[in-house]
Structure 1
Amino acid sequence: MMKIAWITDTAAQLDEAFIQQHDVYVLPLSVVFPDGEYRESIDLTQEQFYEKLRVAKVSPKTSQPAIGEMVSLYEKLQSEGYDIAIALHLSSGLSGTFESAQAAAKMTDFNVYPIDSKIGSFPMIKMIETGTELLSEGKEVEEVVATINEMATKSHLSFIPSSLNQLHKSGRVSGTQAFLSNVLNIKLVITFEEGKPVMKEKVRSNKRAKNHVVSALRTGMAAGTVSDVAVNHCNNAADAKIWKNELLKEFPELKVQVVPLSVCVGVHAGEGTTGLSWVAY
C-alpha cells in the first residue's frame, strides 16, 4: 500500500485532531503588519490577530507560503518514505499558493498532486475527508483527485461582513461606500464564484442578508445532497452559534458546525463577519 500525505494551508482552518487523524501537513498563510510578518496559527492566534487589527493604522497584507518552504516539505516527506502527496490549497482566485505548489512539484522528483480548491474554509475540510475515505476504500489516487476537483465545482461559501470598515481599509470599497453602509445599515453578501469572491447582494439589515444566504442553501439542498453545513465567522463565535441554532430549527437533519475563517479573510472582510459554507453532492 502506498504511503500518501495530505498537504493544505491554513485557509482550511483544520483542528489539531483532524490534522493528526488524517496525516495532514499544513503550510501557514501569513499576515504582514508594519511591524513584521506573522504566520497564521504559528506566530499569532486568531485572538491576537484581531487585537492587532483593531489598532492597526495601516491595513495588513496577506502572504502565501514561500515556494522554498514547499520544496523543503516535499523533500522531507519523500525522505520519510511517503510515495505521494495530495496538496489541496486555497482558491487560486485569492492566492498564488496553488500555482506555487505546482511549480514546487516540478522542482523535486517527489510525486505531488496539487489541487485548486476554488474556495476556502469548510469545503476544503470536506474534500480532505472525502479523499481519505476514498483512499481507504482502495480508490486510485487519480480517481480521488478527480473527485475532489469535482467537489470544488459544487462547493459554496457566502459571507456577510459586519461592516465595510475593513473592506475600506484594505482598499476594496470607498470611504463613501463604507460611511453610507454604516449609516443606512446596508449589508453585503459576498459569494465565491469560479474561485473568486463576488458581491451578490446589497440589502438593508443583517436579517435580510442571512435570509439571502439561507435561500442559496435551500436551493443547493433542492439540487443535490447537502448533509453538512458550516457557519463561518471572523472572531464572532457568538453570532455564529445563534445562526447554527436557527439552521437546526429549520433543517434538523443537517449536521451544522461552527468553523472560523482564516485571518487572511479577516484582513479584508473584518472582525464580526459571518457566513455559511457547504458542498452539494
Structure 2
Amino acid sequence: MAKKIAWVTDTAALLTEEFIEKHHVHVLALNIIFEEGALRETVDMTHDEFYHKLRNAKQHPKTSQPAFGDHVALYEKLKEEGYDCAIAIHTSEQLSGTVVSSPMAAEQAGFKTYAIDSKIGSYPMQVMLERGMELEKQGLEPEQIVQQIEALCEKSELMFIPASFEQLHKSGRVSGTAMFLSNLLNIKLVIAYNEAGGVEVIQKVRADKRAKKFAVERLQEAIIKSPVLEVAVINCNNEAGAVEWIKDLKVQFPTINFTPTPLSACVGVHAGEGTLGLTWVRQ
C-alpha cells in the first residue's frame, strides 16, 4: 500500500496560494526581523507591507529560519492527520538552517521526514515539489522520490541582478566605497547560486543591459546541455521590469514559457527592491 506523504517547504519557494491549496502543501514561514521584532513572511505581512517597511526601516532588518517550535508543531499535526511521512524541500543550507532543523524537529515529533536541501530557492523549489508529487502518484516509494528530486538540484540555476548596491551595503555584503563606485560607474553585479548552494558574484559589468545579456548567455549555455521549457523571470517588487524583459526574451527564445515571479522577502532584504533575474530547471 502506498504511503501517505505530506509535502512541506518554506517561503523561500514563495508558492502562490492557488498552488498551496491545490496541492495541499504545508509551508513554514521564514522570518524578517525588524526593530519591533520578527515578522513571518506571507503570514504577518504582505509583500507590499514588507517593502514599505524596508524603505522606512531605521535599522536594516535581518532574516532567520522558521521557529523550531513551529517546525515541531507542524510535524505533530501531520502525524495526527494520519500521514506516514513528509518530504520537506527547503532552501539552501548555505543560506538558512531550515533544512537542518527539519530532521531534528521531526525526531522530536516522532514523525518520519525526508529533508531535502534544494541548494537553491524560488521557482526551482516549486518544480521539485511538482516532480515529487507526480512520482508519488506513480506509486514510487519515498526514498525513490527523494533520489529523483535531489537529481533536479544539479539541473537548477538561479541568478539575479540587484538594482543597486544600497541594500547589499546595508546588509554588509559590500563596502561603502564599493557602493559609491558602483553608483558612479553604473556597475551591475550578476549573483548566482553555486553548486554547493551558496551565492556568489559571477560577473561585474557596466550597465544593466550587459548584465541581462550575461544572464541570457547563461541560459543559452544551459539549453545546449538539455532543454529548458520554462523560465521564471524573478523580481523583488519589480513585476513591471520583469514583464518588460520578457518581451525581449520571447523574441530570443520563442519555444520557452517565461513567467514573472516574485522573490521571497528574504532575498529582498539583501538584494533590494528592483532586483531582476532568471531561474530555470533543465529537463
For normalisation by structure 1, the TM-score amounts to 0.98
1:93 aligns with 2:94: yes
Encode CA deviations 1:87-119: one digit per residue, 9 max, x unaligned: 010100100000011211222321111100000
1:170 aligns with 2:171: yes
Encode CA deviations 1:253-280: one digit per residue, 9 max, x unaligned: 1111111000000000000000000011
Unaligned runs of 5+ in 1: none
1:223 aligns with 2:225: yes
Deviation of residue 2 (structure 1)? 2.4
CA distance in 2, matches of 1:119, 1:216: 17
1:122 aligns with 2:118: no
Secondary structure class of the residue paired with 2:109: coil
Deviation of residue 247 (structure 1)? 1.3
Matches within 5 A, 1:233-244: 233-244=235-246
Q: Is the 8 A contact 2:3 2:141 kept in 1?
A: no
AA matched with 2:103: Q
Matches within 5 A, 1:195-210: 195-210=197-212
Q: Is the 8 A contact 2:29 2:42 kept in 1?
A: yes
CA distance in 2, matches of 1:257, 1:146: 28
Encode CA deviations 1:20-61: one digit per residue, 9 max, x unaligned: 121100000010011121100011111111111111121100
Secondary structure class of the residue paired with 1:107: helix
Secondary structure class of the residue paired with 2:120: coil
1:136 aligns with 2:114: no
Matches within 5 A, 1:7-18: 7-18=8-19
Greater shift, 118-127 or 50-59, is seen at: 50-59
Deviation of residue 68 (structure 1)? 1.7
Deviation of residue 232 (structure 1)? 0.2
**What is the RMSD of the two structures over their aligned residues, measured on CA atoms?**
0.9
Deviation of residue 71 (structure 1)? 1.0
Encode CA deviations 1:203-262: one digit per residue, 9 max, x unaligned: 000010001011000000110121111000000000001112211111111111111000
Secondary structure class of the residue paired with 1:95: coil
Greater shift, 49-58 or 267-276, is seen at: 49-58
CA distance in 2, matches of 1:22, 1:4: 12
2:216 corresponds, among 214, 218, 222, to 214
Unaligned runs of 5+ in 2: none
AA matched with 2:35: P
CA distance in 2, matches of 1:145, 1:245: 36
Question: Runs in 1 of length 4+ with deviation above 6 angstroms?
Answer: none
Q: How many aligned positions are there? A: 281
Encode CA deviations 1:142-196: one digit per residue, 9 max, x unaligned: 1110111111122100000000000000111000100110111100000100201
